[in-house]
Amino acid sequence: MGGLHQYEKNIALKARDFVRSKLSNAKEIKLTNLQKGKYFRVVANVLVDGVSLGQELLDNKLAYRYDGGRKLSWRE
């Protein structure tokens, strides 16, 4: 998390803890729509007990939509 502003670091830590909690308490974790992303990273939709983890992060303001273009600051 080097180089991030303190506000972004705080959001990142909250998101990390949120994801850890969801995954550690899950009965089922499913990856759908698997793809190879930029730099050969695995890109997938993550469902935790049938609920989209990505959508939950968005709903809790722990993430924002990114379409592959210029990244926005959390302040924009």
Structure tokens given for 41: 């990273």
User: If you average pLDDT over each of 5-9, 17-21, 41-45, 71-75, which comes out highest?
Assistant: 17-21
**What end-to-end distance do the CA atoms of the chain give, in Å?**
19
Statement: the pTM of the whole predicted model exceeds 0.85:
no
* 3-class DSSP assignment, residue 22: helix
State the maximum Cα–Cα separation within the chain, in Å, rounded to a whole number. Answer: 37
Which residue did the predictor score with more confidence, 73 or 55?
55
Tokens of 31: 């990856």
Interatomic CA distance for residues 44 and 21, integer angstroms: 19
pLDDT tens, residue by residue, 19-56: 999 999 999 999 999 999 888 899 999 999 999 999 99
